[in-house]
Structure formats: C-alpha cells, structure tokens
Amino acid sequence: MPVITTWNLENFFRPGGEYGPRTQDVYEKKLAYLADRISALAPDVVAVQEVGDPTALADLASRLPGTWQTALSTHPDHRGIRVGFLSQTPLITVEEVTALPAPLLPVQVGDAPTETDGSMGRGALHVRTTAGGRDLDLVAAHLKSKLLTYPGGRFSPRNEDERARYGAYALYRRTMEAATLRIYANGILKGGVQNLVVLGDMNDTQLAATTQILYGPDGSQLGTPGFDRPDAGDAARLWNIAPRIPDGHRFSRLHGGDRELIDHILLSHTLVQNLAGADAYVQDITTIGNTPSSRRDATVPDHAPVTATIG
C-alpha cells in the first residue's frame, strides 16, 4: 500500500545565504519539524519543492528513521530552488523535464521583445521506484507562482498597467509549464506505464485552467457522475485526488486568510481505482502575504503536505 506525499518545504536552504535562515538554531528547528512531520505521515515517497541547498535535503534525510534515498533536479530557478524526492526505496532518475516541446513557442516573460522563454522556470523531475508492491513512475513539478515579481526584484508594481502586464506574463509561463508537463505525461502513458503520479506545487487550485490542462481528456474526475463509468479517455487521463481530501482539510496554503489547494497529486487510471485515502496536514500552517523574504526564518513551511494512500 504505497503512501505518497508532496510538500513545498519553503526556502529550504542551509543558513548563511541570501534566502535561507539567518541562524543555525532556526535551521535546526525547521529540520526537526520537517523530520517529525514526515515520520508521522510515514510516506514511502515524498516529492519536495523549494530545495535550495542539496546538502539541506541530505541533512533532512539523515534525520529520518531508516535509510532514505534522494534525487534532485539540476535545473533550479534564479533563486536556486528546485524539485526533488525523498524515498524509502531505491530511486532511478529517468529524466529531467525542462524544454518546451515543439510546436509550442517560447512565451513572453517581460516587457522587452527579447524577454521570452521556452523552458520551465524550475525543471520537473521524473523518477522510478517500487513501493508497497507497486512499480511507480513519479514526476515532480513546481509551476510558476502567482506571486508577481517586477523588474529589479520588486514585489510591488509601479502602476496598474505594469501589474496587468506582469500578471499576464506569469500566467503565460504557468500555462506553458502546465502544457509541457502534460505533454510529457502523455509520452509516459503512451509508453505503457500504468502507475503514473504527477505531483507537486502547481501554484493554482484544482479548478484553475492551468491545473486542468494536466488532467487530460475531459470528464470522469473524482466526484463527478462519470467517474465510475469507464470511457475512451481513461488511458490518457490523470485524476486529482482533491475531492477525496476531507472538506476541512482541502487546502494546502493560506494566503491573506484564504484557503487554497495549490499542491496536487494526480494519479493514472490504475492508481486512482485503488485510491484508499487522501489528506492534507493543515494544522500547523499560518496565513502568508506577498513578501517572501519576511519568512526566511520560519520553522514551519507555508505549505501543507498533501498525501495519497494507494490500496
């Protein structure tokens, strides 16, 4: 019975850098919290996001009971954060996903005509393992944030025109990244893989257009009348576990007091048919605003871990 978790660890750097905690004491408290929570959830595999220092993930693995394997993307963003995995079973790194697939074209990411990008801001990572008696292919991703940044590293726009433009640029990028991830998943499914998990911080809710790109063919999602009726789209479809998360826990971040489920686990047909449970551990997260630097000394991440149990 594999247990799979996704968790954005928020600015997971060792102390001393620009983005990590300012003191060793804060870092140790965060490590202790992460290790205690993962131990309590008891997952076989954890997809992680916002890993800054590779050594920080190694520190976390060393504090977990038993022996844990790690894998990390080698394609971080400009801040140095990347996706990766912790696993109690051996991991095989299959591929890193970075480039926008043809015939999709690079998207505009800034005001200048030359400011375009044809790659994911943070590379996705595809690994393979065996857990709970099942062979699993897992693809972790961290799509473009809804938090807007402006030239010079500003978090506030000079005017409303600039806000509108950079809101569009962010949406262009997140849409491009979602399409890249979905097309990559298509290739895995066409290759005959039955146990596919696509998971991570998708930076929008389960009803957002960018998130729904990941689902594949319309219809039959969990909680819809068509779920129990097989159809021709099942072989290509991915199912979001969100409807199986209890109502009071169906969020993974508090932004300005609003509950948002932006961390998702998507399952292929074989796995969703055996979904035994889903939850988000929301008890410890607190509401956040739009100034990330204010949280560099936080010891509890701003995202809740989301977990799926496969029967």
pLDDT value at residue 290:
77
pLDDT value at residue 287:
92
Element (H, E) at 269: helix 269-272
Which amino acid type is present at position 25? D
The closest of 304, 287, 306, 299 to 11, measured between CA atoms, is 299
Residues 6+ apart with CB under 8 A from 119: 98, 99, 100
What is the per-residue pLDDT across 70-108, written as a single tens digit (0 to 9) for each? 999 999 999 999 999 999 999 999 999 999 999 999 999
Residue showing tokens 């871990």: 305
Residues 6+ apart with CB under 8 A from 283: none
Residues 6+ apart with CB under 8 A from 200: 6, 47, 49, 83, 124, 140, 141, 142, 143, 263, 264
Residues 6+ apart with CB under 8 A from 266: 197, 198, 199, 214, 215, 238, 239, 240, 241
Domains held by the chain: number: 1
- DSSP 3-state of 271: helix
pLDDT value at residue 65:
96
Using CA atoms, how far apart are residues 3 and 246, in angstroms rounded to an integer? Answer: 17
What is the per-residue pLDDT across 185-219, written as a single tens digit (0 to 9) for each? 999 999 999 999 999 999 999 999 999 999 999 99
Which amino acid type is present at position 183? I
What is the per-residue pLDDT across 237-289, written as a single tens digit (0 to 9) for each? 999 999 999 999 999 999 999 999 999 999 999 999 999 999 999 999 999 98
Using CA atoms, how far apart are residues 33 and 238, in angstroms rounded to an integer? Answer: 32
Residue 241 belongs to a domain with what CATH number?
Answer: 3.60.10.10
pLDDT at 293 over 80: no
- DSSP 3-state of 97: strand
Let me know if 114 is exposed, middle or buried by CB neighbors in 10 A (0-12, 13-18, 19+): exposed
Q: For the chain, how big is the Rg over CA atoms in Å? A: 19
The closest of 172, 168, 175, 171 to 210, measured between CA atoms, is 175
The answer to whether 252 and 262 are in contact (CB under 8 A) is yes
What is the per-residue pLDDT across 8-57, written as a single tens digit (0 to 9) for each? 999 999 998 888 999 999 999 999 999 999 999 999 999 999 999 999 99
Range of the domain at 125: 3-310
- DSSP 3-state of 234: helix
Least confident of 48-57, 171-180, 288-297: 288-297
Which amino acid type is present at position 164? A
pLDDT value at residue 306:
98
What is the per-residue pLDDT across 108-161, written as a single tens digit (0 to 9) for each? 999 999 999 999 999 999 999 999 999 999 999 999 998 899 999 898 999 999
